[in-house]
Amino acid sequence: MPKHAKPIPASRLGRGLSSLIGGPTTVEPSQPPASSAPQQFQPTPPTPELGPPRELPVDQIAPNPYQPRHTFDDAKLDELVASVSRQGILQPLLVAPAADPAADRPYVLVAGERRLRAARKAHLATVPCAIRDAGAEQLLEWSLVENIQRSDLNPIERARAYRSYMDRFNLTQAELASRTGDSRPTVANYLRVLDLCDSLQQLLLDGSLTFGHAKALATLAGNEQRQLALARRIVRDGLSVRRAEHLVAEAQRAGDGPSAGPGPAPKDRPAYLADLETRLAHAVGTRVQVLPGRGKNRGRIVIDYYSLDDFERIARTLGMEQD
């Protein structure tokens, strides 16, 4: 068995996960759990580390229950196995004591899935672990933040992670941005790709469409036929993002998009309406359109939602009591 190298400090990530657990850690691949009924968000206080990193037996660490991803890049994992075989695990895994004292394994993995898998394939008996106390809610929140902070998430995975975190903890986009260390426009832009139909999401995943193209097409949410037609044209003709945005704007002016309706064309919209939409969107955590009516001092406010959980979250934000 190879001798473990002396653990080195993990590099600091964005504010999200390290702020939740009171110190830096290392992010490994994960995917968000399925959303359950949202609850009132309560910030998770930092928890103290239970002593310095310790060598724990590999067979005493249970997988993260909120880690549904089961596929990993075999070639990259083999590279990590080779590195682990030569040098050992250089950065500690993050684990928490099992909530159930009668659990088969006394520890639950929080972050370090690839390193743990590589250690097993390299036949290591123990791995260095930073241990932090965590309840079920903390473990779920840490797992969601860890997932969001991964650098190799594709746009759909990141968008779903954002949505899952918002729904589970009843957050607005601004609150989520604060928790993860991202900007609110970044969160909003990723959430927009969930407006794409399944076929377009697949084109984004396989690289036929860029994230910029996807953001533009998401503006036509609710018109799947038009989205697909424009997407095929973008792919066929190799159109730029700027050209795609122009085509989407033309479709909206022709009445093909959700912004069609009463009120002036986008280029003629008063600046105060755009500012009002921005402030309303910030308040409810989703896209908002203010559409002036034909009569004086009349119009409509259109609030987008993306799931039943999202609708209920917005309703609570607006003060609606839930049965």
* Residue 216 sits in the same domain as residue 159: no
Task: Give the pLDDT confidence of 251-282 residue by residue, as tens digits.
Answer: 777 665 444 444 444 445 677 777 787 778 77
| Integer Cα distance of 107 and 101 in angstroms | 10
- Residue ranges in 127-197 assigned as alpha helix (H): 136-149, 155-169, 173-180, 184-192
| Residue 121: predicted pLDDT | 92
Domain that holds residue 233: 196-317
Same domain, 153 and 297: no
Least confident of 35-44, 109-118, 124-133, 208-217: 35-44
Residue that the structure tokens 């003060």 belong to: 319
**Residues 170 and 293 placed together within one structural domain of the fold:** no
pLDDT of residue 275: 75
Q: Is residue 118 part of a domain?
A: yes
DSSP 234-290: HHHHT--HHHHHHHHHHHHHTT-STT-SSS--GGG--HHHHHHHHHHHHHHTS-EEE
Both 170 and 28 in a single domain?
yes
Q: Is the pLDDT of residue 236 over 80?
A: yes
The pLDDT, as a whole number, for residue 150 is 66
Confidence of residue 66 (pLDDT cuts 50, 70, 90): low
Q: Out of 28, 49, 79, 113, which one is annotated catalytic?
A: 113
Q: Are residues 233 and 292 in the same domain?
A: yes
At 94 the three-state DSSP class reads strand
Q: How confident is the model at residue 142 (pLDDT cuts 50, 70, 90)?
A: confident
Residues 165 and 307 in one domain: no
**Considering only 8-17, 101-110, 296-305, which range has the smallest mean pLDDT?**
8-17
Averaged pLDDT for residues 137-157 = 72
pLDDT (average), residues 169-184? 84
User: Of the candidates 184, 219, 242, which is a domain's last residue?
Assistant: 184
Residue-level pLDDT at 171: 84
3-state class of 43 per DSSP?
coil
- The residue out of 129, 158, 184 marking a domain boundary is 184
Q: Is residue 189 part of a domain?
A: no
pLDDT at 249: 82
**170 and 228 both lie in a single domain:** no
Rg (CA), the chain: 23
State yes or no: is 55 an active-site residue.
no
Does 6 map to a domain?
A: no
Residue 11: pLDDT over 70: no
Instruction: Please check the confidence at residue 295 and state whether its pLDDT lies above 50.
Output: yes
Query: Does residue 224 sit in the same domain as residue 261?
Result: yes
User: Are 126 and 239 within one domain?
Assistant: no
CATH number of the domain that 19 lies in?
Answer: 3.90.1530.30
Residue 222 lies in a domain: yes
Residue 238 placed within a domain: yes
Note whether 38 and 162 are same-domain residues: yes
In this predicted structure, the answer to whether residue 1 has a pLDDT above a threshold of 50 is no
HSE-up of 176 (CA within 13 Å, CB side)? 31
Give the predicted TM-score (pTM) of the model. Answer: 0.56
Tell me the pLDDT band of 298, cut-offs 50, 70 and 90.
Answer: confident
Range 145-170 burial, b when 16+ CB lie within 10 A, else e: bbbbbbeebebbbbbbbbbbbbbbbb
Q: What local confidence, expressed as pLDDT, does residue 70 receive? A: 47
Per the domain annotation, does 69 fall within a domain? yes
**Position 307 in a domain:** yes
Domain with residue 278: its CATH number is 1.10.10
User: Among 37, 99, 45, 62, which residue's Cα sits nearest to residue 313?
Assistant: 37
Q: Are residues 162 and 219 in the same domain?
A: no
Eight-class DSSP state of 295: S
Over residues 94-113, mean pLDDT: 85
Residue 156 counted as domain residue: yes
Mean pLDDT of 43-59: 69
Can you tell me the mean pLDDT for 20-36? 42
Mean pLDDT of the chain: 75
Q: Strand pairing partners for 198? A: none
Residues 76 and 40 in one domain: yes
Number of domains in the chain: 2
Model pLDDT, residue 184: 86
Which of 184, 214, 235 is a domain's end point? 184
Sheet holding 126-131, edge to edge: 54-57, 126-131, 93-97, 107-111, 61-62
Out of 23-27, 67-71, 124-128, least confident range: 23-27
